[in-house]
Chains A and B, each alone.
Chain A
C-alpha cells in the first residue's frame, strides 16, 4: 500500500499544535505516534500521526533545537511516552508532560544521542 508521508501531512505552526490536536481528538481521532527527526537546517521536525477509520493524518512542524514545545499529554494521555522519548533521545524540551521522567526514560551513555549537535 502506498502511503507517502507527503500526501497525508498537514503543515502547521508550533503554536497551533495544542488547538489542532484537541480538534482532532474531538473528531474521534486516535494518536498513532509522534516522531522527531533532524532537518538539513539543523532544526527538529516533529510529526504527530493521527488516525480515524483507517484515514491517517500527520501534523508536522519544525522547531529550532532550543525551542520548547507544549506537551499534548493533557489531551492524549498516551503521548507522554513519546514525548519523554523525544526528550531523552533528541534533547528537545517539552513542557508540561503528564508523567515527566525528567530525562530518565532512556539512560544512554551519550546524552541525547540523536540530537543535532552530536552528529
Chain B
C-alpha cells in the first residue's frame, strides 16, 4: 500500500460557489475516500416556523434556495393546502407548472454554465448565462422578481399571466430553443468537453438506487424516476417521460440536464396550450392540522417536505429534505477511485446547492 495523504478540499474553492468541505484521502493521485463536512451556512430556517405564521412560511421556503426558489414555494404551499385542506383552482395549478418549468430551464442553464466553468471553458460559460438571462427577464416580466419569483401563495398564485403574455413566452422560448440547441451541442459533441466528462465519476444504477440519489444524478445512472410523474400541480394533464441516460458518468448527467431543458420547454408549450381560464386563488381560512408529506421534483432532484401542524397559526414542524442533501452520499461514492484533478468536475456534476442543504 502506498502512502496516504489527506487533502482538504473546500470550503473555499474556485469551483464551489458555496461552502462544502471534503477531506480527500489520496493514494498517489487517486482518491480512495472522501469525508464531507457541511454546516458552514446553517441558517436554522426550520426553527423559524415557531415565529412565522404558516402563510408567511411560503416566503421563508422560497428563500431556502436562490435557484429552486419557486419550486420550494410551490411545495410549501402544496403541503399547507393539503393540511387545511383546500382545493386550488386549475388555472393556478397551470401557472405554477409554467413557472416551475421556467425555473428548471434557468437552473439547468446556470448549471451548464458552471460546469463549463469547472472544466475551464469560459466562453461556453458566458454563452449559457447569456441565454439564462433571457429567461430571467421573462420571469421578471411575469412574476415580478428575477430569482425570487414571489408569485406563489397558499391557495393559488398571486399574479396572473395574461394569455397574450403566455403566447409571448412560448414564442420567446421557440427562439431560445434554437439558441440553446446551438450551445448544448457543444457539450454533447465537442472533443475537449467530452474528454473531461466521459467516464468520470461513474455511479452504477444499483448504487444510485441504494444510496438514495435523486434527480438528474439518479437519472444519469439509468433510474427512470421523476417525481413529476406523481401528478401534482398540472403535471397530471401533461405528457412527458422521465429523461434517462445509462452511462452514469458526468457526461450522462450533463446530457440528462440538457434534454430536460428541452423537455421543460415542451411542457411549457403544452401547459400554455391547455391552460383554462378562471380564478387564480381561493380564499384561505382556518388553521392547518395534521401532517403532510410532499415530494416534488426540483431542478436538482426531489425535495421532500414534512409538515406537522397543530391547529394554531404556527406550524409545529417544518422539515425540508433538499435534493443536495440526498445527493451527498452518492457523491462520496463517485469520488472513490477518481483522479484528484477530476474532483471539482465530479462535485459539480451533482449540481450542489449547499445553502439549500443546510437550510
Number of B residues contacting the other chain (C-beta, 8 Å)?
44
A56 touches B295 (CB 8 A): yes
A38-B293 CB under 8 A given contacts A33-B304, A77-B329, A81-B328? no
A30-B210 CB under 8 A given contacts A58-B293, A106-B42? yes
Please name the residue on chain A nearest to B225 by beta carbon: A54
> Which residues on A sit within 8 Å (CB–CB) of B225?
54
Which residue from B212, B293, B316, B321 sits with its C-beta under 8 Å from A76? B212
A80, CB-defined interface residue at 8 Å: yes
Report the Cα distance A104→B358, complex, angstroms. Answer: 13
> Which residues on B sit within 8 Å (CB–CB) of A107?
39
A108-B44 CB under 8 A given contacts A1-B232, A32-B304, A37-B316? yes
> Which residues on A sit within 8 Å (CB–CB) of B211?
77-78
Q: How far is the CB of B347 from chain A (nearest CB, A)?
A: 16
B319 touches A35 (CB 8 A): yes
A113-B47 CB under 8 A given contacts A30-B212, A105-B38? yes
B293 touches A114 (CB 8 A): no
Report the Cα distance A76→B209, complex, angstroms. Answer: 11
A1-B39 CB under 8 A given contacts A37-B316, A78-B211, A113-B44? no
Number of A residues contacting the other chain (C-beta, 8 Å)?
41
Please name the residue on chain A nearest to B327 by beta carbon: A78
B231, CB-defined interface residue at 8 Å: yes
Which positions 303-321 of chain B face chain A at CB distance < 8 Å? 304, 306, 308, 310, 316-317, 319, 321
Q: How far is the CB of A35 from chain B (nearest CB, A)?
A: 4
> Which residues on B sit within 8 Å (CB–CB) of A51?
295
Please name the residue on chain A nearest to B319 by beta carbon: A35
> Which residues on A sit within 8 Å (CB–CB) of B295?
3, 32, 51, 56
B46 touches A114 (CB 8 A): yes
Report the Cα distance A78→B212, complex, angstroms. Answer: 7
Task: Map CB proximity to A onto B198-239 as digits: 1 under 8 Å, 0 otherwise.
Answer: 000000000001111000000000000101011110000000
Task: Map CB proximity to A onto B130-161 as digits: 1 under 8 Å, 0 otherwise.
Answer: 00000000000000000000000000000000
A37 touches B42 (CB 8 A): no
Which positions 63-119 of chain A face chain B at CB distance < 8 Å? 76-78, 80-82, 89, 99, 101, 104-108, 113-114, 119
Q: How far is the CB of A29 from chain B (nearest CB, A)?
A: 9
> Which residues on B sit within 8 Å (CB–CB) of A78?
211-212, 326, 329-330
Please name the residue on chain A nearest to B321 by beta carbon: A33
Report the Cα distance A25→B231, complex, angstroms. Answer: 26
B119, CB-defined interface residue at 8 Å: no
B85, CB-defined interface residue at 8 Å: yes
Report the Cα distance A78→B218, complex, angstroms. Answer: 14
Task: Map CB proximity to A onto B71-92 as digits: 1 under 8 Å, 0 otherwise.
Answer: 0000000100010010000000
> Which residues on B sit within 8 Å (CB–CB) of A105?
37-39
Q: How far is the CB of B316 from chain A (nearest CB, A)?
A: 7
> Which residues on A sit within 8 Å (CB–CB) of B302?
32
Q: How far is the CB of B247 from chain A (nearest CB, A)?
A: 21
> Which residues on A sit within 8 Å (CB–CB) of B52?
none
Question: A-side interface residues toward B, CB under 8 Å?
Answer: 1-6, 8, 25, 28, 30-33, 35-38, 40, 47, 49, 51, 54, 56, 58, 76-78, 80-82, 89, 99, 101, 104-108, 113-114, 119
8 more A-B contacts (CB under 8 A) besides A5-B306, A32-B295, A33-B326?
A1-B78, A1-B231, A2-B82, A28-B209, A37-B316, A54-B225, A56-B293, A82-B321
Question: B-side interface residues toward A, CB under 8 Å?
Answer: 35-39, 42, 44, 46-47, 50, 78, 82, 85, 209-212, 225, 227, 229-232, 290-295, 302, 304, 306, 308, 310, 316-317, 319, 321, 325-326, 328-330, 358
**Interchain residue pairs with CB less than 8 A apart (14):** A4-B293, A5-B293, A6-B291, A28-B209, A31-B212, A32-B295, A32-B321, A33-B319, A47-B306, A49-B293, A76-B212, A78-B330, A104-B39, A106-B38
The 7 closest A-B pairs by CB, nearest first: A33-B321, A37-B317, A1-B232, A5-B291, A78-B329, A78-B212, A35-B319
